[in-house]
Structure 1
Amino acid sequence: MYRTGLVVLLLVALVAGCGTGAAVYNFGTVVHGSVGKTADVRLTPGQRFSLAVDENASGGDSWRMANLPDVKVASFISEEYQAASGAAGVRYFVFNAKRSGTTTVTISNCRNCKGGQVPADERSRRESGDATFRITVA
């Protein structure tokens, strides 16, 4: 009897969402950025938002968040990737807006950086760089 109850609880936990693949289903307000650009993000306290960049891993893209925002202004939830057609997709950095203030997040792409942090060729150097997001919560 005890084992049957335990098995039922485990099955309920699995069906309820454990191991479903993605940690976040609600990206909130999505703001897209790209290399060499600064995007302004205006939010209200409690609002969920995502900083998004196009990513093609087979083309050599490798996006990483360079710094966390001021935790009083925005809190980091997770990093997610959604594939589109082919090898391309979008990488999302998901946050919750907290209190009034301004902070900056930089997301860096090092394209075709094999074995180090230096792009492999001239084209990769041109396509590498930072996407900057200026976040204002009011």
Structure 2
Amino acid sequence: MVYRMWAVVLLLVGLVTGCGAGSAVYDFGVVVHGEAGKTADVRLTPGRRFSLAVDENPATGDGWRMAALPDVKVASFISEEYRAGGGTGGVRYFVFNAKYPGTTTVTLYACRHCAGGATPTQPPSGPGTGEAIFRITVA
């Protein structure tokens, strides 16, 4: 009976402190770096955590956004994280779990003046803008 009670307590603690979207993640899993104008191929097995990483400098107004969520049967979104670097700027991580076999695409777009959650009123264009595409295959 005591073991059952502790199991329930641990389950509740896990639910309260879990890693839902927007919470801090400390395990980025397999990190795949991308950049504007490039396509990166990502191959994973089911159950693997992975992160799509792009360099970002919010001080200059640079920011990255995900165009749309990928197919949730293939990759489930966990959170978006930013880690400052040693100098100017840092890295933005989009963290996922690989789910079931299949292929999906994640498109991240870079834009100036959209850091800090601002949404540009026009599609990104000009210097410091573009798309980083990640083709994700779970097998």
- TM normalised by structure 1 equals 0.76
Computing the radius of gyration over CA atoms, which structure comes out larger, 1 or 2?
1
The yes-or-no answer on 1:60 pairing with 2:64 is no
Q: Alpha-carbon deviation of 1:38?
A: 0.4
Point out where structure 2 has 5 or more consecutive residues left out of the alignment. 1-12
Point out where structure 1 has 5 or more consecutive residues left out of the alignment. 1-12
- Which ranges of 4 or more aligned residues in structure 1 deviate by more than 6 Å? none
Q: Alpha-carbon deviation of 1:126?
A: 2.6
Q: Which residue of 1 aligns with 2:34?
A: 33
> Percent of aligned positions with the same letter in both sequences?
68
Q: What is the RMSD computed on CA atoms of the aligned residues?
A: 2.4
Q: Which residue of 2 aligns with 1:72?
A: 73
Counterpart of 1:58, as a letter, is A
Counterpart of 2:37, as a letter, is G
- TM normalised by structure 2 equals 0.76
- Measure, in 1, the Cα distance between the counterparts of 2:73 and 2:123: 35
Distance 1:35 1:115, change over 3 A: closer
Q: Which residue of 1 aligns with 2:10?
A: none
Q: Which residue of 1 aligns with 2:87?
A: 86
Paired residue total: 117
The yes-or-no answer on 1:103 pairing with 2:104 is yes
